[in-house]
Chains A and B, each alone.
Chain A
Amino acid sequence: MQAIQSQELTAFQTSPDQYRHWNLKVDGPVARLTLNIQEEDDGPEYLLKQNSYDLFVDIELADAAQRLRFEHPEVKSLVFESGIPRVFCAGANIYMLGKSTHPFKVNFCKFTNETRLGLEDLSENSGVRTIAALNGTAAGGGYELALACDEIYLIDDGTSAVSFPEVPLLAVLPGTGGLTRLVDKRKVRRDRADIFCTVAEGLKGKRAKQWGLIDDFFPRTKWDEKIEAAAQAGAAASKRKSDWKGVALPALTPEYEGNRIRFEHVEVELDHEARSASITINGPGAKAPTNAADMHAAGAEFWALKAFRELDLALLYLRMDLPGINVVTLHTKGDVADVLRLDAALFENREDGFVREVLLNMSRVLRRLDLTAKSFYALIEPGSCFAGCLFELAVAADRSYMLVDDDEANTIALSPLNGGLLTMTHEKSRLENRFYGEPETLQAALESTGSAISGEDAEEQGLVTMALDDLDYEDEVRLAIEERASFSPDALTGMEASLRFPGAENCDSKIFGRLSAWQNWIFQRPNAVGPKGALTSYGQPTRPEFDFKRT
């Protein structure tokens, strides 16, 4: 295996001046994202017709949401609209999907799902009301994008419709949470949803409103005025704090050296032969700001923001570009006390506009980790700082191994951030999730907040999987990694996804669960991707042929 070259990695970083498909316009409290997808931009393999999207369109969308959070505190409502006539968005490009490998399809859907959940997060937690102004037909992923918004309006021009043509036309499912959001979020009656999902051309204004698929419909001549009114009303009702100056997010600039990707605070090292990688995060250090004013002044350089942005990008590369890596070990370097001090400051200032965004970003990155199909082992070794926000990594991991050293210098610690500020997709804290059946253990752990915990106590309190002395540690860890890397990656993905999220589901977790269980199964089946499957024959002169035996 060759050393990593930056050009082999997916271009996840962008900025509004580089957007090719979206136009972000901020006008006081109202932002508008106009979709005008450039057909020919993404290679000769497929044309992005009718505002149909691929990964790069969604990367821009995810970036735009991030810019609104950090760079535009003044924005309180966000309008999505199309820049081309009669079509809002035709969803994911089918030719692109047809030509993609299975792993790419899965990662593509996962990323687009996270982007949409991010939009819901933007509304619920950052106070930016989201409005889908469907000034043309929204099909498939186009309507799913609308479903991720708070309000959906459809132009009433006699032809524009909302639709889910996936089942009847493509023999797959709406892959970005559409089915779940229909019945769970918008509470569309299930039999109506059933009809809607099998009528390829979908429903127009009146019926769509009657069935709860949209909130309202307006004629073309009233359109601009109605949408503007909705945007202003959404902004007026927002509780977003705008009393802070936006923080620009410059591109991260990792360096590539042999098998390493080196960021400022995060380093990834790959061992292709062993099918494993390590991620090391350096702690905040002693000089991290401890009051809101200094945090603002640090801006994008603030450790709590930058380190987690770097971790996010590292996770994306691992998922999308490094499929051969099966096991990822998680490491931290630094002082437990530094993390605790920073966490206390973050907790104290959690209602500050900027700090709030920093914490929300942290949450999203940790959720990205929860949802990454790699085996994670946290290795807690002397010199590490698995405390507070970084201890979340150890609880997010499938297992954690802690070295018990003679002088008990190797410790972990909880901070107030572990108490419920950094929730998982199903709205539990990672500790609650860990101690699902043990409320007393959870209580005891939370009571230890702030104090350093050594290896044996940590194991005793259930905070690590295993605490081992130096005679056993090295071998045990080596064997655990080698064993893990030898198992079927498919079985591991399924097993981990099943074990990571005990307890009740919510809309978010169902979306991922359904995606993994059903869509990814259907994506493998001959009826979709076989030589005569519907995805394969889409756009071809032959009609699909199905195996009609029900599984």
Chain B
Amino acid sequence: MSLHDQIPNNVDLSHDRRLQKALESWQPKFLDWWREMGPEGFQEKDVYLRTAVSVDKNGWADYNYVKMPDYRWGIFLTPEEGERKVGFGDMVNTDSFDEVPGEFRNSLRRLIVTQGDTEPGSVEQQRTLGSCAPSLYDMRNLFQVNVEEGRHLWAMVYLLHRFFGRDGRDEADDMLERRSGNADKPRILEAFNQPIDDWLSFFCFTMFVDRDGKFQLATLAESGFSPMRRSCRFMLTEEAHHLYVGDTGIQRVVKRSAELTRESGGDPYSLGGIPLEIVQKYINYWVTYAMDLFGGEISSNAADFFAAGLKGRYNEAKKYTEHEVNSGEYEIPVVEGGKIVNRKVPMRNAMNELLRDEYLADSVSALKRWNKIIADEGVDFELTQPNKRFHRHQGQYAGHFFNNDGDLVSEDEYKACVAAALPTKEDRDLVKSLMQQVTEPGKVANWIAPPKKGIGDKDTDFEYVKL
């Protein structure tokens, strides 16, 4: 079978010799990587997966049993009609570009590599979770997320292969060589080097870290560089499912924990549930890592990317009328002389912070829904968002000690705060002790509520993975 038959695409692969040549060398390496670093122990199982085979209405969600290494990773760009203009920055309203302008070659490559590196990173982080999946339904969702992260890697590799020549090919190869959490060759961003070896972490990751992905992709989906804009648009449709997995996953955990809290009179673990305090700690942990992913609060890179028309604001076209942003300021609390002081920053330099705030507002709405579930069970507990300054490793607040109220504290106070607000080893051991594989169709583990509906047109008791 020829390469372009194996690879569903709408980028005219059968006529693009440069792309063919690059993929002929890269695709076998990708498959080797998938076999080595993809889901452990399930490579030869039939999984009920969704595959994108074309960009039309019915083509992007084709459901069938597939063995993961045979998954048809494809390359798709969302079609666009008519002439497109650059939507923001210094070149607003000039023609958007179909090729990489030399001037932005390096910046664009860095953006794409940083985004692309996260995709295989998350697959590596999650590779052992299948062995303790709480249901076949969840197991299938895990694998769906994994193969689609793989496809997102393909989407970024397509951009590198198609537009960045030899350097692009080298970068694409490097993305298969780095390894999540490896001391020698770590993934670029720290959130993708943190272990995910229990399902609460997995749900938090897909809820909060993939949500960063959604916001990053959304800003790139505004880009003046057409192939990137169109590629990211298409990725967003898939990303929505990952967020759904995370959101409903935590929701089901919260529901079950609240039920067991009520039934046990306050000790859900005695009935095999996860205490809500621990759920809160996991949320704190992952939200703070996700906040790091947005980059420095005050960033000249962000200003450059905006000015160059490469990376816009969230919903740039829909939400804003003025797209140059040459004036206006954003107030950012910074540490100066041991105190927190509000500093006014030119709006373009505050683009990362703007996006972070959009993100936080988005995840707050989920917290509200989960809190309602807890309240409905009659349990007195409220999940909250961690403070923006607490437990940060990037940006203005990194290197300073903040408590979870956002106050500057001493190193000792900070350590106490970390012990109270982030998962301890005991917390993690407790969660892991509950992780038991459940493989009977329609059954779910005790620590999590069953899903409300199935996948595609199938019911929740469908055999999503044939073991």
Contact = CB atoms under 8 A, between A and B. Distances in A.
A543 B307 contact: yes
Interface string A519-551: 000000000000000000011111100000000
Interface string B154-183: 000000000000000010001001100001
Interface string B388-408: 000000000001000000000
B336 interface: yes
B188 A158 contact: yes
A157 B90 contact: no
B186 A538 contact: no
A257 interface: no
Contacts of B307: 541-543
A542 B184 contact: no
A156 B177 CA distance: 12
Contact of B346 (A39, A221, A538, A541): A541
A219 B326 CA distance: 44
A301 B96 CA distance: 71
Interface string B319-331: 0000001100000
B110 A538 contact: no
B326 A541 contact: yes
Given A539-B349, A541-B346, A158 B186 contact: yes
Contacts of B184: 156-157, 219-221
Question: Which of A39, A158, A220 has the most chain B CB atoms inside 10 A of its CB?
Answer: A158
Contacts of A44: 336-337
Main secondary structure of the interface of A (DSSP, over half): loop
A219 B187 CA distance: 14
B106 A201 contact: yes
B438 interface: no
B304 interface: yes
B186 A543 contact: no
Interface in A32-60: 39-40, 44
A168 interface: yes
A533 to B, nearest CB: 15
A485 interface: no
Interface in B250-306: 300, 303-304, 306
B348 interface: yes
Question: Which of B177, B178, B184, B188 has the most chain A CB atoms inside 10 A of its CB?
Answer: B184
Nearest to B106: A200
Q: How large is the interface on A (under 10, 10 to 19, 20 to 34, 35 or more residues)?
A: 20 to 34
A540 B349 contact: yes
Interface string A375-391: 00000000000000000
B115 to A, nearest CB: 15
A538 B185 CA distance: 31
Contacts of A541: 303, 306-307, 325-326, 346-349
B439 to A, nearest CB: 37
A542 B186 contact: no
B308 interface: yes
Given A200-B106, A541-B326, A157 B300 contact: no
Given A44-B336, A200-B106, A201-B106, A542 B326 contact: yes
A43 to B, nearest CB: 11
Nearest to A539: B300
Nearest to B113: A201
Interface string A193-223: 0000001110000010000000000011100
A540 B325 CA distance: 12
Contacts of A40: 336-337
Contacts of A539: 300, 303, 349
A542 B325 CA distance: 10
A158 B177 CA distance: 8
A87 to B, nearest CB: 12
A542 B300 CA distance: 9
A159 interface: yes
Contact of A158 (B174, B337, B347): B174
Contact of B304 (A157, A158, A543): A543
A157 B186 contact: yes
Question: Which of A40, A201, A543 has the most chain B CB atoms inside 10 A of its CB?
Answer: A543
B325 A157 contact: no
A199 B174 contact: no
Contact of B185 (A168, A200, A207, A219): A219
Contacts of B90: 542-543
A207 B110 CA distance: 17
Contacts of B110: 201
A539 B110 CA distance: 18
A39 B335 CA distance: 11
B185 A157 contact: yes
B153 to A, nearest CB: 15
A40 B336 CA distance: 8
B348 A199 contact: no
Contacts of B185: 156-158, 219
A275 B170 CA distance: 59
A448 B150 CA distance: 82
Contacts of B347: 541
A221 B185 CA distance: 10
A159 B303 CA distance: 23
Nearest to B183: A220
Interface in B94-108: 106-107
Nearest to A95: B300
A194 to B, nearest CB: 15
Given A44-B336, A199-B106, A543-B307, A221 B183 contact: yes
Given A158-B174, A199-B106, A543 B308 contact: yes
Nearest to A94: B300
Interface string A120-160: 00000000000000000000000000000000000011110
A538 B346 CA distance: 13
Interface string B331-360: 000001100000000111100000000000
Contacts of A201: 106, 110
A542 B346 CA distance: 10
B346 A540 contact: yes
Interface in B203-257: none
Contact of A540 (B188, B303, B306): B303
Contacts of A540: 300, 303, 346, 349
Contact of B178 (A158, A538, A542): A158
Nearest to A541: B348
Nearest to B393: A85
Interface in A437-474: none
Question: Which of A39, A40, A159, A219 has the most chain B CB atoms inside 10 A of its CB?
Answer: A159
A157 B399 CA distance: 22
A221 B307 CA distance: 40
Contacts of A221: 183-184
Nearest to B334: A47
Given A201-B106, A543-B304, 8 more contacts: A158-B186, A158-B187, A159-B188, A200-B106, A219-B183, A220-B183, A541-B349, A542-B348
Interface of B: 90, 106-107, 110, 170, 174, 177-178, 183-188, 300, 303-304, 306-308, 325-326, 336-337, 346-349, 399
Interface of A: 39-40, 44, 156-159, 168, 199-201, 207, 219-221, 538-543
24 contacts: A39-B399, A40-B336, A156-B184, A157-B184, A158-B174, A158-B178, A158-B185, A158-B186, A158-B187, A158-B188, A159-B188, A168-B106, A199-B106, A207-B170, A219-B183, A220-B184, A221-B184, A540-B303, A541-B325, A541-B346, A541-B347, A541-B349, A542-B326, A543-B90
